[in-house]
Amino acid sequence: MLSDSSIAFLKRLLDTPGPSGFEGAPARVWRAEAATVTTSVRADAIGNSLATVPGTAGADGPIILLAGHIDEIGVIVTHVDDSGYVYFEPIGGWDPQVLVAQRMRFIGRNGDVLGVIGKKPIHLMKPEEREKASKITDLWVDIGARNKAEALERLEVGDPGVIDSQSMELPNGRLVSRSIDDRIGAFVVLEALRRYAANPGEATVVAAATAQEEIGYSGGGARVAAQSVHASMAIAVDVTFATDHPGMKKEEIGEHNIGGGPVLTRGSVISPVAYRLLADTARRLEIPFSLHAAGRFTSTDADAMQLARNGVATALVSIPNRYMHSPNEMVALEDLDRAATLIAETCRMVSVKTDFTDR
């Protein structure tokens, strides 16, 4: 079970703004918590945070990288007009419809700046306008400024922002937040490291809160982490689409229920060796899980890590997530607990004799 202190840390992590390229604040929260697990905590130039627990085999043992990206989707200021209205473009993939009328929080040079997204009232729309979906370019943010000069005292072009919302718990262990994708992954890898540290195996395990995944077309921070730690094996932890709500096509996505355990990916970039280690451990521990098939890329950190250096045996563990890339993503706490236990125990199964080549 997740401890009260772990859940409190998770909520701090979720509530701290940090879109891709501007992950500094949540990264500091993550590193502060990592320091309670191990004395070996560091950051790198791209924005990754890494925490290491040495294995009993020392320098001769394999190195396992656990990666969950800490960035979230957000917006960035592109223009301030003469009336003080703020225009923006997305950081990461947004459905513009979920931005309409939202409250926003920008990370300004002198502190947070609050605002609201404006749009023409429905009363003033022509019939054909009402039928059209909103575009990012149709929206603006009102920060309460009277003119451009006043707005620029608080914000400038290039300042990032996120939807201003706080995490909340719903019945049956459901957790809701705007930043579950993928602060949940950053949380799970650290929780797995905490459990591994209580009884280390032969492998040295490095948990990484990676940067820039949502915009990391070249691999983001995960590629840098996999190369810098000389990993033999890597496990990416991300979210995947829960299919237990209306409108989801299980025939296309698979069957993944929140509360149904972690999701293990097969195919594509996934190492058969790393997958079998996870699946066999899950069966032995009687941890429920579902399977996801990826015929090509996975659109996660796994894609970059498996190509690092001479190749890294990479697996993907995902948490079922409802309403992805919205202000109210939802997961089940029991899935986080199960994923952390599964990953920690899988790491213990890796030894100096483990052959990561599927022969």
Burial of 204 (0-12, 13-18, 19+ CB in 10 A): buried
Closest CA to 102 of 330, 326, 331: 326
Tell me, yes or no, whether 79 and 67 share the same domain: no
Here the CATH number for the domain that contains residue 19 is: 3.40.630.10
Let me know if residue 270 belongs to a domain. yes
| Contact assessment for residue 51 and residue 37, using Cβ atoms and an 8 Å cutoff | yes
CATH code at position 121: 2.40.30.40
Neighbours of 207 (CB within 10 A): 32
pLDDT one-digit tens code per residue, 55-113: 999 999 999 999 999 999 999 999 999 999 999 999 998 988 999 999 999 999 999 99
The widest CA-to-CA distance across the chain, in whole angstroms, is 71
Q: How confident is the model at residue 219 (pLDDT cuts 50, 70, 90)?
A: confident
pLDDT tens digits, one per residue of 272-328: 999 999 999 999 999 999 999 998 889 999 999 999 989 999 999 999 999 999 999
Does one domain contain both 240 and 335?
yes
For residue range 237-274, what is the model confidence (pLDDT) as tens digits? 999 999 988 888 787 778 899 999 999 999 989 999 99
Residue 177: closest CA among 18, 23, 46, 340: 18
Tokens representing 142 are 């009102």
Q: End of a domain among 136, 163, 190? A: 163
Residue 168 lies in a domain: no
Q: What are 157's two structure tokens?
A: 């072009």
| 3-class DSSP assignment, residue 316 | strand
pLDDT at 253 (0 to 100): 79
Would 53 be classed as within a structural domain? Answer: yes
The rounded distance, in Å, linking the Cα atoms of 305 and 219 is 8
Residue 279 dihedral angles phi and psi, to the nearest 5°: -65, -45
pTM score, whole prediction? 0.94
Domain span including residue 276: 4-72+178-349
pLDDT above 70 (res 217): no
Q: How far is CA 15 from CA 8, 144, 251, in A?
A: 11, 23, 34
Catalytic residues: 213
182 upstream amide cis, omega within 30 of 0: yes
Separation CA 257–CA 102 (nearest Å): 28
In a shared domain, residues 22 and 152: no
Shared domain for 247 and 317, answered yes or no, is yes
pLDDT in tens, 154-163: 999 999 999 9
In contact, 346 and 274? CB cutoff 8 Å: no
**Nearest to 236, CA basis, from 181, 186, 289, 310:** 186
CA dihedral sign of residues 244, 291, 281, 58: negative
Over the chain, what is the mean pLDDT? 94
User: Taking the CA of residue 213 as centre, how many other CA atoms within 13 Å lie in the half-sphere pointing to its CB?
Assistant: 30
Is there a single domain that holds both residue 112 and residue 65? no
Q: Whole-angstrom Cα distance, residue 59 to residue 50?
A: 18
**The pLDDT value given to residue 296:** 86
